[in-house]
Amino acid sequence: MCIAVLLAALAVRAKADELHVMISGGFTGAYQAILPAYEKQASVKLLTAYGPSMGETPQAIPNRLARGESADVVIMARSALDTLVKNGFVLPGSEVDIVRSKVALAVKAGAPVPDISSAEALKSALLRANSVAWSDSASGQYVSKELFHRLGIEAAMAAKGKMIPATPVGVIVARGEAEIGFQQLSELLAVEGITVVGPIPEAVQTITIFSAGVTKASKSPEAAKRLIDYLASPQAWPSIRRYGLEPVSAPVVAAAP
């Protein structure tokens, strides 16, 4: 009997030392840089599944949760996280905003670098391009539904643009399957074979907040909360900034007069 109790206790302990995380692309590079130090410090193994914050693909985080995949923590665009709270997948009040992310533009490595220094320059670059790609997640929703409208080029982009499900847009650009690609800056920085031209102009820029929450199905909610607190802490800021993101919890530095 004692052996059975001991084995049961060890099984519970082993499970408690693992956390299942689902994460979308915008925070993936920074998370992977942070992961080794956190696993060592917290003596926990992070088992990670990757997918978009939204969209119709099987890999999308809401679709993974809906079919019963395990997760203790989800990290994704705040708007999508709010929907998961509303739909009962994430504990209300567990949400923490982690980073701010900008949309950027990339071309294939070695290709001419377009001028995107102003909204008008960006518009001209897009009209000259033979093909344009964007994601099926937060950045792509903005690009296809708002940016092109603001630039007055919806019809032109409909004729030569395409939404890319699941695959990083930078990979599509690196393969030469699209001349210009839009995605979160942090996602493009992680792709080889492309030149990241930079964030799109401030006049037409949008900021996506990536946030984390504890799932209602988590068997280790306290451990999940500790991970989220760490991701929002100053210890994580260097890795976050390395991937073109800005920590939400960092003090805002006022511009010089």
| Angstrom distance (rounded) from CA 228 to CA 207 | 21
Q: Residues 50-80, buried b or exposed e (16+ Cβ, 10 A)? A: bbbbbbeeebbbbbbbeeeebbbbbbbbbeb
**Which pTM value belongs to this model?**
0.87
The confidence score (pLDDT) of residue 72 equals: 98
The confidence score (pLDDT) of residue 253 equals: 53
The confidence score (pLDDT) of residue 220 equals: 97
The confidence score (pLDDT) of residue 8 equals: 42
- CA distances (Å), 232 to each of 52, 152, 211, 243, in order? 21, 38, 9, 15
Q: Which of 226, 229, 219 is nearest to 15 (CA)?
A: 219
Tokens of 114: 């377009």
Residues forming CATH 3.40.190.10 domain(s) in the chain: 2-100+209-247, 101-204
The confidence score (pLDDT) of residue 37 equals: 95
| Angstrom distance (rounded) from CA 159 to CA 128 | 13
Q: Residue 209 pairs with which residues in a beta bridge?
A: 100
Residues of the chain scoring pLDDT < 50? 1-2, 4-15, 254-257
The CATH H-level (homologous superfamily) assignment of domain 2-100+209-247 is Periplasmic binding protein-like II (3.40.190.10)
Look up the CATH architecture of domain 101-204. 3-Layer(aba) Sandwich (3.40)
The confidence score (pLDDT) of residue 252 equals: 62
